[in-house]
Amino acid sequence: MNFPSAWVTALLIAAAVVSPTLADQGDVREHVLANGMKIIVMEDHRAPTVASMVWYRAGSMDESSGATGVAHVLEHMMFKGTKGNAPDMFARTIAAAGGRDNAFTNRDYTAYFQQLHKSKLPLALALEADRMQNLVLSGDEFAKEIKVVMEERRLRTEDQPRALLFEQMMAVAYTGSPYKWPIIGWMNDLENMKVEDARAWYDRWYTPNNAALVVVGDVDPQEVFRVAEEKFGPIPSRELPGRKPQVEPAQRGIKRLVVKGPGELPYLLMGWHVPVLRDLEQDWEPYALSMLVGVLDGSDAARLDRTLVKEARIAVSAGASYDSVNRGPGMFFMDGVPAPGTSVAELEAALRAALRKVVDDGVSEEELKRVKAQVIASQVFQRDSIFYQAMQMGMLNTVGLPYDSTDLQLRKLREVTADQVREVARKYFVDDSLTVAVLDPQSVAPRAAAPAN
């Protein structure tokens, strides 16, 4: 299936081993158009295909109260026709060219991509350039599409107790940061959204100086620059509105919340405020936090699965995750499902004890070495996917980090010491910055109505 979607990395409660990197990456070339649009090209000649992505530095964190979800709604509307192309012609044209296309919205960005034969890249770039400047945004199309988005919210959030819990958790854990809003938006905001809201969003953020084109595949960088210049070059830049820092005020005490939802199993989610990467060379804490995730949850051999699931058997599952690449603030998550006979409180105590053990006893050289081995191997494995490589570069660039910094990030990860892991655990896993969210399952007995005729 092929649908524009809020590709919600916010729901990555599963383990994220380490921050994204691309060591030993292929040759990367950059060119900046006169209008400010950055073009990033990586050659990969293994197959005659290409992954092409346009990234806008505008995500749900750039929204305002009362209009949450508009970034994602506009993503949907970007498929709904331009002055020269009827609604849905974008997708149909890419499909007829043998391509696949989709888009995703996150807190930090909105991105649009095509995967196609290399000969079709100019077509994809022409279509992207067209919708960057000529979107129609008709009231009729909006009226239908906002209903689609509300169905998407029902599907992914309203009827998904853990997603609801996560949404509520973010709303409680953050006070001043726009990360407190769900990417897809509050239902009431969607119900009251107007096509003018989408128009205002488009006018504000969809300008070449707020965009980057990332192309990975069987291409000649100079040729890509030439075509990009031809398609995107004529689009005038516009002044971007100022962005307020909206720094999250310090939390001063533990926060707790409970969400009730249909289910059989309780679910526990804990989050601590932690830093993210801002200076790849000078920072060390985010790298240490990434290594800590690896020690706790980087593989089947990691601590949480081994101790809580396999040995003590007090959890059906237990995990840790941390994303070091964000425009906004960082959060370190731990989560788990208690085994039958274990209470949520006992699981919480066990997860806290796992962190306490890191603070008290540190981590072993063997564990660190193991995580580093996985980091190194995954650098190679990732190169099997041109799409993934384009994703990584687009994300880093959008967040404001050097997209060709993989070797540096890999080196910094390998330099992390056991003492540093212990130090970040000691410094950041304090109750005053902790939010604990619990899903309280409400049993529902589905019952079959009489079979219809």
Under 8 Å between Cβ of 249 and 175: yes
By C-beta, is 211 or 416 nearer to another protein? 416
Q: What is the DSSP track for 271-313?
A: EEEE---S-TTT--HHHHHHHHHHHHHSSTTSHIIIIIIIIS-
Of these, 34, 46, 176, 258, which contacts another protein (CB under 8 A)? 46
Indicate whether 260 belongs to the interface with another protein (CB under 8 A). no
Between 210 and 392, name the residue whose CB sits nearer to another protein.
Answer: 392
Binding to another protein by residue 79, rule CB under 8 A?
yes
Window of 194-202, 256-264, 272-280, 319-327 that interacts with another protein by CB under 8 A: 256-264
Rounded Cα gap, residues 290 and 267, in angstroms: 24
As a whole number of angstroms, the distance between CA 181 and CA 256 comes to 18
Among 10, 91, 103, 216, which residue sits at the site for another protein (rule: CB under 8 A)?
91
Q: Interface residues for another protein in 410-439 (CB under 8 A)?
A: none
The first and second tokens of residue 88, run together, are 């849905």
402 touches another protein (CB under 8 A): no
Residue 384 binds another protein (CB under 8 A): yes
Q: What residues numbered 303-342 form the site for another protein, per CB under 8 A?
A: 305-306, 309-310, 313, 316-317, 337, 339-340
Handedness of CA 62, 67, 69, 72 (dihedral sign): negative
Decide: 52 and 214 in contact? Cβ < 8 Å: yes
Between 250 and 450, name the residue whose CB sits nearer to another protein. Answer: 450
- Identify residues 167-206 at the interface with another protein (CB under 8 A): none
What's the maximum distance between 2 C-alpha atoms anywhere in the chain? Answer: 70
Q: Contact 269/437 with Cβ under 8 angstroms?
A: yes
Between 282 and 443, name the residue whose CB sits nearer to another protein.
Answer: 443
By CB under 8 A, tell whether 265 contacts another protein: yes
The CB-of-280 to another protein minimum distance in angstroms stands at 23
Short-list 232, 209, 234, 1, CA closest to 124: 232
The answer to the question of residue 14 lying near another protein (CB under 8 A) is no
Instruction: For residue 378, give Cα distances in angstroms to 17, 173, 384, 410.
Output: 10, 32, 10, 11
Q: Among 59, 178, 298, 330, which residue interacts with another protein (rule: CB under 8 A)?
A: 298
Which one, 121 or 235, has the nearer CB to another protein?
121
153-172 binders of another protein (CB under 8 A): 154-155, 158-159
Q: Cα–Cα distances in Å, from 46 out to 295, 333, 394?
A: 34, 38, 21
Nearest Cα to 14, choosing from 421, 261, 318? Answer: 318
User: Would you count residue 380 as binding another protein (CB under 8 A)?
Assistant: yes
Please state, in angstroms and rounded to a whole number, the distance separating the CA atoms of residues 316 and 49.
42
Q: Binder to another protein among 12, 254, 301, 345 (CB under 8 A)?
A: 301
In the complex, least distance from residue 116 CB atom to another protein, rounded to whole angstroms: 7
446 in contact with another protein (CB under 8 A): yes
The helix or strand, by DSSP H or E, that contains position 13, with its residue range, turns out to be none
Q: Which is nearer to another protein, 249 or 451 (CB)?
A: 451
Q: Look at residue 115 and give its three-state secondary structure.
A: strand
What is the C-alpha to C-alpha distance for residues 428 and 419, in angstroms, rounded to an integer? 14
What is the number of other CB atoms lying within 10 angstroms of the CB of residue 92?
13
C-alpha dihedral (281, 282, 288, 294), degrees to nearest 10: -20
Task: Give the active site residue among 30, 43, 75, 158.
Answer: 75
Q: Does 253 bind another protein (CB under 8 A)?
A: no
Which one among 19, 44, 276, 391 touches another protein, defined by CB under 8 A? 44
Catalytic (active site) residue 75: yes
Handedness of CA 158, 160, 164, 170 (dihedral sign): negative
CB of 157 to another protein, least distance (A): 10
Q: What minimum distance in Å lies between the beta carbon of 452 and another protein?
A: 4
Task: Give the bridge partners for 80, in sequence order.
Answer: none
Q: In the set 136, 240, 376, 418, which binds another protein (CB under 8 A)?
A: 376
87 near another protein, rule: CB under 8 A: yes
Check: CB of residue 216 under 8 Å from CB of residue 390. yes
Instruction: Report the candidate in 337, 333, 303 with the shortest Cα–Cα distance to residue 317.
Output: 337
Write out the two tokens for 39.
């073009």
Residues 96-155 that bind another protein (CB under 8 A): 96-100, 115-117, 120, 143-152, 154-155
**# residues near another protein by CB under 8 A:** 85
Q: Does 246 bind another protein (CB under 8 A)?
A: no
Task: Rank residues 245 and 451 by Cβ distance to another protein and give the closer one.
Answer: 451
Residues labelled catalytic: 75
